[in-house]
Amino acid sequence: MRYLMKFFIATVKRDFICLYCNELCHPFTSLEAVRKHMESKSHCKVHYGDGGDEEDAKLEEFYDESTWRTK
């Protein structure tokens, strides 16, 4: 989980990329710009499972579904 959070932080803070739009839109010019975009568009979430195999593959390395518990 720690590495997943580091990936998210680097994507936003270092690369100025929206977590939801990801590679679909251009990187922003500043951290403030990407934050404003994410808040105004309600993109404070991760875009996953919508059929983008390349995009999903980036996140799947952080998941180990065999450790998930079901009730």
- Is residue 9 assigned to a domain? yes
Q: Give me the tens of pLDDT residue by residue for the chain, a chain 71 residues long.
A: 678 889 899 999 999 999 888 877 789 999 999 999 999 999 998 877 665 666 667 777 776 666 655 55
The rounded distance, in Å, linking the Cα atoms of 15 and 40 is 19
- The pLDDT, as a whole number, for residue 32 is 97
- Is residue 37 assigned to a domain? yes
Q: What sign for the dihedral angle of Cα 56, 58, 61, 67?
A: negative
- Is residue 34 assigned to a domain? yes
The rounded distance, in Å, linking the Cα atoms of 53 and 56 is 5
- Is residue 17 assigned to a domain? yes
**How far, rounded to the nearest angstrom, does the alpha carbon of residue 15 sit from its chain's CA centroid?**
11
Q: Which amino acid is at 30?
A: S
- The pLDDT, as a whole number, for residue 52 is 61
Q: Which amino acid is at 8?
A: F
Q: Which domain holds residue 31?
A: 2-60
- Is residue 70 assigned to a domain? no
Half-sphere exposure for 63 (CA within 13 Å, toward CB) = 8
- The pLDDT, as a whole number, for residue 57 is 73
- Domain total of the chain: 1
